[in-house]
Structure 1
Amino acid sequence: MKIPPKRIHGRLLMITGIVHVLLVVIPGVFGEQFYQFSKDLFFNINNGLLDFPIFGGNIKNQDFAAFWFFYAGPLMFMYGHLLDSYEKKYGHIEKSVSIIFIVISLIGSYMIPLSGMTFLLLPQGIYMYLRNSKLTKTANKNEERDN
């Protein structure tokens, strides 16, 4: 059975990145923090390293979480675009990339079990691994048959 090399993994991650950015502006998620950031024109939204307790600062957890939740979106989009480009060129994702994706998702899922890492990224990583394992086996069988 031949599995068509559909480009899905990078596109799923790009969609996840877009959704991440959109969720930030919703009231009740991080809308309030995002509104405050916009009042400052998104400039100097915190004191950076000076907010670390080691330097006598105080990390504002909600602002910190809002920033990183927002910032993770473009990073996921960029990584998704890279995966999509690789998938387009080679027809699959390297097994090592799938494994790293799963490990990172497992760590995040362990740290925050009720999160998108558990319900979206971890299943996506497992699907990426299983699908690419099948594609690799099919390609190897075809190669053996042709020789």
Structure 2
Amino acid sequence: MQLNLSKLCLAISLISTSAFVHGQTQTLKDSAQRAMENNPEVLAKWHNFQSTSSSREAAFGAYLPNLNLSANAGKDDRDNRLGKTELNRNSTSLSLNQMIYDGFLTRNQVKQLDHLKQVRFFEFQDTSEAIALEVTRAYADVIRFRKLVSLSEYRSG
């Protein structure tokens, strides 16, 4: 409870301070958007989702053909009893490989990463919604406290 209260106080102070600095009141949408763009938990979940997407694309690459080019060059000098010999080596190779059947390994890896990508997306969505809820609560509290302040000023003045 103490942790949630400190988060709430921090959010209230950030919203009210940023609104005061900018000289204008922020809408709830602006506050939520700023929180989404700057919250480290949301950013971490987003990067996890992006990482999983990249891993899925890499696994899908096993379906594609591989083209490998190799070139070697070298020079050897040999000096023995028969005389001095100079050898030049040059070789090149080009190979094209296409996976035909790998026991459904690639297909299963792609499926697994598709499901993991979906899990990461829902984790990102869950964290985003939780942060948006915190911002909404803090925003409502700021509005309520501002009304209380204006009521107390009205009664005292």
| TM-score for the superposition, normalised by structure 1 | 0.34
| TM-score for the superposition, normalised by structure 2 | 0.32
Higher helix fraction: Structure 1 or Structure 2?
1
| Higher radius of gyration, 1 or 2 | 2
